[in-house]
Amino acid sequence: MTSGLQARLLLAVGVLAVAAVAAVAVAARQGARREFVRFQDIERRPASAEAAAGAARLAKALDGRCCDASSLTAASGALGRDVAVLVMDVDTGRLVASAGAPLADLEGLSARRDGDDLSLEATRRDGGRVERIGLNFRQAGEPLRLSSGRAARLFVLPFPNRDRDVRTAKFVGSLDRRLIAATALAALVVLLLTWMLARGIVAPLEELRGATHDLTHGDLARRVAPRGGREVAELGRAFNLMAGELQRQEVLRRDLVHDVAHELRAPLTALRCRLEAILDGLAPDPRRALGDLQDEVLHLGRLVDDLQDVALAEARELRLDVREVNVEAIARSAARTAGLEHDARLVVGVPADLVAHGDALRLRQVVVNLLTNADRHTPANGSIEIRGAAGSGEVIVEVRNTGSGLEPGQLDRIFDRFYRTDPSRQRVTGGTGLGLAIVKHLVEAHGGRVWARSDADSVTVGFSLLIAIRHSLDVTSAPSLPGEAP
């Protein structure tokens, strides 16, 4: 495919370029010929003027005495070696006499006059070849009377110089040959440059075609070197980004399958063991065993609900009832839902008049997940703080807990699905591992952003939302939380 594209580009651009070069060469040839002819005309003008003046003098000198051959020959010789003198009878139009060096090698000279147009015809022998000559002049001629008293006209005609014509022909031929050589060289250079241009365009596309084929057959690590023109290089970079994203999504998909299988295996195994114990009569307290079974079923239900929320968010199918909501009321409601309303560790530092745009139920779910996560990692003597403020057109909400810290590598992955900082992945230390992933998707569905930061003894997770429209002018100058940027 790409070789065909290269051939078409080479043919199309090459033909146009060669045609342009040929057109320029033809125009240059015609222009050079015109200028050369004009130069020759300029050179001939003084000779023509001199011939006209000489014709007037000669007609005056020969008036009534014309024309014996000796006087006419002497007069033509005095006018120049490229000048011929002709005398024609006005009444009969017959050529009376002629003389001059240009006529010496002409045979059968005849003249015909039509007004001011004078035509000469003759033959000339060049070796064994007979050449027919025809010349046209535009000249009125000078009047004079023949010795017989008849009216005649005398013409002094500047003939073409054969040597000069030969030199002119050689010059024009040399010019044509040089133009042909220059045109051929330019066409060759143009074709070479066209081939290089076509190759520069097609080679990256050929590499992209091969990379696309490899990607289609499962080689997600395939990349190309961005090269060529700006657009083609940008296409290569876009392909690399696409391949990288596909590879990342494939890794996430495999991790998701692995993590879901892991998360389902533990409660299902527990359910099977407890059911077998009950069926075998090995459970000392069946009611307590059934309560444990209920806990496992509830855990499975929460896991399924969390997976559904993540799936809806990633598919952009979450339906949000966006309206003005009071952030402080949402924080209080989330604290009650998380069971922290009367917990001495909790401090709510959200202004009572802080208003944002969002879905109240989904935002409460965000804060509940943050509080549940903070509660899980905060010791009895620690503290959990909800802070809120407005600034730069957005509302900032952060949940900070003490008693734990995160490494930089952990901060980078804290919002990934099923990621837990506890390598043992125990339920008591990490829940389903989807809480912060749900937080990220819900906040981004609102057009906000999330972030996390940590020091040696505390972790802060925050998010931003758009400020309500009618309050935007009142709160944009309010102080923001420290470290509000992710």
186 inside domain: no
* 366 and 307 in a common domain: no
How many angstroms separate the CA atoms of 373 and 355, rounded?
Answer: 25
* 419 and 347 in a common domain: yes
How many angstroms separate the CA atoms of 477 and 357, rounded?
Answer: 18
How many angstroms separate the CA atoms of 344 and 65, rounded?
Answer: 148
480 inside domain: no
3 state DSSP class of 226: coil
* 247 and 301 in a common domain: yes
The pLDDT-based confidence of 346 (bands split at 50, 70, 90) is: very high
CATH number for the domain spanning 379: value is 3.30.565.10
pLDDT at 461 over 90: yes
Q: Please state, for a pLDDT cut of 90, what percent of the chain lies above it.
A: 15
* 310 and 344 in a common domain: no
150 inside domain: yes
Which residues, other chains included, contact 253 with Cβ-Cβ below 8 Å and sequence gap of 6+? none
168 inside domain: no
* 359 and 250 in a common domain: no
pLDDT at 9: 67
Range of 121's domain?
Answer: 17-160
Q: How many domains in the chain? A: 3
CATH number for the domain spanning 269: value is 1.10.287.130
Check residues 362 and 164 and name the one with the higher pLDDT.
Answer: 362
The pLDDT-based confidence of 351 (bands split at 50, 70, 90) is: very high
The pLDDT-based confidence of 441 (bands split at 50, 70, 90) is: confident
Which residues partner with 111 through β-bridges? 120
pTM: 0.48
* 24 and 131 in a common domain: yes
Q: Which of 133, 160, 187 is the last residue of a domain?
A: 160
CA distances from 385 to 94, 243, 363 (A): 130, 42, 17
Count of C-beta atoms within a 10 Å radius of residue 349: 14
pLDDT at 224 over 80: yes
105 inside domain: yes
| Average pLDDT of the chain to the nearest whole number | 78
* 336 and 300 in a common domain: no
pLDDT at 43 over 60: no
Backbone angles phi, psi at 433, to 5 degrees: 80, 15
Long-range Cβ contacts of 337-345 (<8 Å, 24+ apart): 337/364, 337/368, 338/368, 338/371, 338/372, 338/375, 339/375, 340/371, 340/375, 340/384, 343/375, 343/384, 345/378, 345/380, 345/382, 345/383, 345/384
* 132 and 236 in a common domain: no
* 285 and 351 in a common domain: no
Tell me the per-residue pLDDT of 54-95, one tens digit each, with 9 for 90 and over: 777 788 877 777 776 666 776 666 666 778 888 888 888 888
* 32 and 111 in a common domain: yes
Angle at 78 between CA 98 and CA 75, to 5 degrees: 40
189 inside domain: no
